[in-house]
Amino acid sequence: MPVQTTGRFSYANWEERAVGSSEASPRLAHASVTNTFSGGIEAVDTTCEYSIVYITEKTGTFTGMERLAGRLDGREGAFVVEERGSFGADGSVRCTFEVVPGSGTGELTGLRGSGSFTTGPGASSFPYTFHYDLD
């Protein structure tokens, strides 16, 4: 039966660059991001890479991969999640993520799961929810 865990994360660094012509529409970008997770997932300075499509200057979608190394409900190891989401003109971001099969290491070997988060403008940290199973 899946276990649910929750916590918060914050952006530690965000470096974005245009891909192709900055005059093109829709516009493409790439972002290298580091995040810090607390709560059920404890991971500092994660490694995350996003591909972004700006439909307008303030709206669009993204996909990415993020490696989290640390602890999950006290179990030590690392795993990778695939992320997919959208962002709105109001500054909100909605994202779902899923563990990449076979990516769990250490005490997280055999990890399966998915989660989500929604962010809003002006906050420095955001809640996430993660449902998982371990073999």
List pLDDT tens digits, range 49-90.
999 999 999 999 999 999 999 999 999 999 999 999 999 999
Q: How many domains does the chain have?
A: 1
Q: Is 55 left (phi over 0), alpha (psi -120 to 50) or beta?
A: alpha
CATH number of residue 35's parent domain: 2.40.350.10
44 close to 70: Cβ distance less than 8 angstroms? yes
pTM assigned to the model: 0.93
Tens of pLDDT, residue by residue over 41-51, are 999 999 999 99
H, E, C per residue of 29-94:
EEEEEEEEEEECEEECCCEEEEEEEECCCCCEEEEEEEEEEEEECCEEEEEEEEEEEEECCCCCEE
Q: Give the model's confidence band at 24: pLDDT under 50 very low, under 70 low, under 90 confident, else very high.
A: confident
Residue type, 98: E
Residue 91: what are its φ and ψ, rounded to 5°?
90, 0
Query: Domain range for residue 27?
Result: 3-134
- CA pair distance 30, 62, nearest whole angstrom: 9
CA-CA distances (angstroms) from residue 105 to 24, 41, 44, 99? Answer: 41, 14, 17, 12
22 pLDDT higher than 80: no
Sign of the dihedral defined by the CA atoms of residues 101, 81, 114, 88, in that order: negative
Q: How many degrees, rounded to 5, is the angle at CA 70 between CA 80 and CA 67?
A: 20
Close Cβ partners of 29 (under 8 Å, ≥ 6 residues apart): 16, 17, 18, 19, 51, 52, 54
